[in-house]
Structure 1
Amino acid sequence: MFNRIHHVAIICSDYEKSKDFYVNKLGLTVVSEVFRVERKLYKLDLAVNGIYQIELFSFENPPARPSRPEAQGLRHLAFEVDDIEKEIARLNDADITTEPIRVDEWTGKRFTFFADPDGLPLELYEVE
């Protein structure tokens, strides 16, 4: 039986740009950072609200992948928030563009999408 999701791995095209985005703009916490010489890649472990959840990788010349929320494969990565308008303002202040707020027709909860530097769709999902 599964306990929970352990982590999500993200491969970026520009390590420094993505590190700045996830750490300085989104506010995730660095758990560890290593450079793997044999594979020529960085691996940055990040925590969301104190819980290790994201691995950011920098492989050389990774192939592009469709990444809109409706593309086949992993649809998006969602961050739970208490106040969506406050988080949208924080992201917009960091020059991150967000889509208009939508309402989930089944749950009545509000959500919106934005993108990381490689166009990976990210979501804010309000739980309050």
Structure 2
Amino acid sequence: MQIEKLHHIAIICSDYQKSKQFYTEILGFTIEKEVYRQERQSYKLDLSLKGQYVIELFSFPNPPQRTSRPEAAGLRHIAFGVKNIEKEIQFLTSRNITTEPIRVDEYTNKKFTFFSDPDNLPIEIYEL
């Protein structure tokens, strides 16, 4: 097997409009395609970042809650690289999004922190 790149990350949200606003207006993703699948009562929103397809945002009626955060088996979190972590924390704070205190990676000496999306899914920003 020869994997070329990460194709996308799929996220199921509980409040489609709230999550759509969060990922587009706050995190800055671009909408590539939005469809409503009547038979599944589900939206599918394809999002890109700087021209690269990255996230599929889904809505389904009554999705089960995540068991715990983030230590449950399965996907732990998603992480995005940023140039200036303090600047991005200020931006998130201005949008009433709380971040954890900045940590420093003991192996790379790079700064990182976590915050949550509208469904309390953990998102990391990591200074490049």
- Fold-level match, TM-score > 0.5? yes
> Aligned to 2:19, what secondary structure does the other structure show?
helix
Partner of 1:91: 92
CA RMSD of aligned residues (A): 1.0
Which moves more between the two structures, 42-51 or 12-21? 42-51
- For residue 34 of structure 2, what is the aligned residue in structure 1? 33
Q: Is the 8 A contact 1:31 1:46 kept in 2?
A: yes
> Which stretches in structure 2 are left out of the alignment for 5+ residues?
none
Q: Assess, with a 3 A threshold, how the Cα gap between structure 1 residues 67 and 52 changes in structure 2: closer, same or farther.
A: farther
* Poorly superposed stretches of 4+, deviation over 6 Å: none
The C-alpha deviation readout for 1:105-128, integer Å capped at 9, x for no partner, is 01111100000010000000001x
Structure 1 unmatched ranges of 5 or more: none
Contact 1:67 1:119 in 2 (8 A): no
Residues 114, 67 of structure 1: alpha-carbon distance in 2 compared, 3 angstrom cutoff: farther
* TM-score normalised according to structure 1 size: 0.95
Give the TM-score, by structure 2 length: 0.95
Offset, 1:67: 4.6
Aligned-pair identity in percent equals 64
Post-superposition CA distance 1:17-58 (Å, at most 9, x none): 101111111111111111011111000011122211000000
